[in-house]
Amino acid sequence: MLDIHKIRAEFPILSQKINGKPLVYFDNGATSQKPQIVIDAISKYYTEINANIHRGVHTLSQMATDAYEVSRKKIQQHINAKHAHEVIFTSGTTHSINAVANGFTSSLKAGDEVLVSALEHHSNIVPWQMLCERTGATLKVIPMNQDGELIQSEYEKLLSTNTKIVAVNHISNALGTINPIAEMIQKAHTVGAAILIDGAQAVPHLKPDVQKLDCDFYVFSGHKICGPTGTGILYGKEAWLNKLPPYQGGGEMIATVTFEKTTYADLPHKFEAGTPNIAGGIVLGTAIDYLNNIGFENIAEYEHLLLEYATQKLLEIDGLKIFGTAKQKTSVISFNIEGIHPYDIGTIIDKKGIAVRTGHHCAQPIMDFYKIPGTIRASFAFYNTKEEIDIMVDAIQKAKAMLI
Ligand code: 7TS
């Protein structure tokens, strides 16, 4: 089991007061907090090795390049990619999905189909809609049931040889549903479709094995796993990344440039135009080391206890309804209280130092499905505690008494 006291001491922000009260941070689905080791690594980079990478012969540039490439290798090992050059640094999940969706532009035509699911974040809907607008392809949606689970029989019906790419999340940000992606990947491949997994909400809770999963693309953000904002990963199978044209043109992504013709650099550089977030990329490796030292099995086990405890406590509140009751769930609870707007609860409990997200969570179709304007979302991380859950439940009870 985790030494929560020790872990919490490693996150300086957790000992802050917000509105005069100790911070209770339950907005981990939006972004995680950062341990001191990550904060220090950013400072160390700028203090000791700041230089542009892959450019000069000078020593400092070499040091920065080496550190960046060491981090790429760490991430490769973490997700078990076959090659380091299958790991592309991006600015986040959104960037990664846009890079892939753009890459499919020249290979799609009218009659082709792109499948997304009813559970997606807008980041995994809009780039595909834009792709369909550019190419004349059709966007189709895998439906969900009342528990917030994707209906697998409907998915099978939607798949056909017209399906060119499936884009689905590993874990839903709004409901916490863990999707059966291993089977979904296999099914996509039976019709010859490529499949992208949006792992933004999965990587904080588990270690994906992209070779075992056999997904074509797996994308995530660094800021949700204790890393800096403006960092992300696009994993793609070598064959796909070689096939897709680059998303952006610029420095560092070329082999040769003349005014007549440009040839592109090999992977991973083909997808890494311009000066990247060097410090961020390096420190993402530090964050991943930090999490692996704690251990993802320990994290998952502890977060599951928090999920069960919070679910039970919240359901003791009269009129409270949880949205997202999938059998396979991670430590995210979306809920509403009858007769009260989620925003009102969020605002009142913020006064007590409690950070939750309210609204549609960038997943408006899910809110439309349930015919609600939004929810209150409490999303827990391995540094949260049962005591904090008690504080939130008590604050909600009091807010409810004020509002009804
Ligand atoms: N996909 C999923 C499943 C997400 O949860 C998010 C961010 C994104 C994509 C986009 O990631 P970004 O790092 O590029 O912005 N989700 C949330 C959230 O639930 N609350 O704030 C951001």
pLDDT tens digits, 159-176: 999 999 999 999 999 999
The reply to whether omega before 35 is within 30° of 0 (cis) is no
Please give the CATH number for the structural domain made up of 4-30+295-403.
Answer: 3.90.1150.10
pTM above 0.95, yes or no: yes
Question: Ligand 1 pocket check: which of 33, 116, 173 to mutate, most ligand atoms within 8 Å of Cβ?
Answer: 173
pLDDT of residue 204: 98
Ligand 1 neighbour 231 (Cβ under 6 A):
no
Residue 64 is inside which H or E element, if any?
Answer: helix 59-79
What is the Å distance from ligand 1's center to 193 Cα? 25
pLDDT at 93: 98
How far does CA 114 lie from the centroid of its chain? 21
Q: Give the per-residue pLDDT at 320.
A: 98
Distance between CA 163 and CA 71 in Å, rounded? 35
Q: Which residues of the chain have pLDDT under 70?
A: none
pLDDT in tens, 59-75: 999 999 999 999 999 99
39-292: CATH number: 3.40.640.10
* Side-chain-facing half-sphere of 76: CA atoms under 13 Å: 17
Distance CA 112, CA 140 (A): 10
pLDDT of residue 55: 82
Per-residue pLDDT, 1:
80
- Strands (E) across 206-246 are located at 217-221, 232-236
The per-residue pLDDT for 73 is 98
Ligand 1 center to 60 CA (angstroms): 34
Contact 38, 286 (CB under 8 A): yes
Any idea where the domains of the chain sit in the sequence? 4-30+295-403, 39-292
Q: Tokens at residue 211, please?
A: 């070779």
Stated as kind and residue range, the H or E segment containing 240 is: helix 238-243
334 Cβ below 6 A of ligand 1:
no
Smallest CA separation from ligand 1 atom 4, residue: 200
Catalytic: 362? yes
Tell me the one-letter amino acid at 99: A
Give me the pLDDT at residue 325, please: 98
Alpha-carbon radius of gyration of the chain: 22
Q: What share of the chain is helix, strand, coil (3-state, %, to 5)?
A: 45, 20, 35
Q: Are 115 and 166 in contact (CB under 8 A)?
A: yes
β-pair partners for 114: 139, 165
Residue 86 C-alpha from the chain's centroid: 18
Q: How many CB atoms lie within 10 A of CB 404?
A: 11
pLDDT value of residue 56? 82
Q: Is the CB of 221 under 6 A from ligand 1?
A: yes
**Strand ranges inside 11-147, DSSP E:** 17-18, 21-22, 24-25, 87-90, 113-117, 138-142
Q: Please indicate whether residue 332, judged by its CB atom, sits closer than 6 Å to ligand 1.
A: no
Please count the other Cβ atoms lying within 10 Å of the Cβ belonging to residue 297: 10
Tokens 């994993």: give the residue. Answer: 235
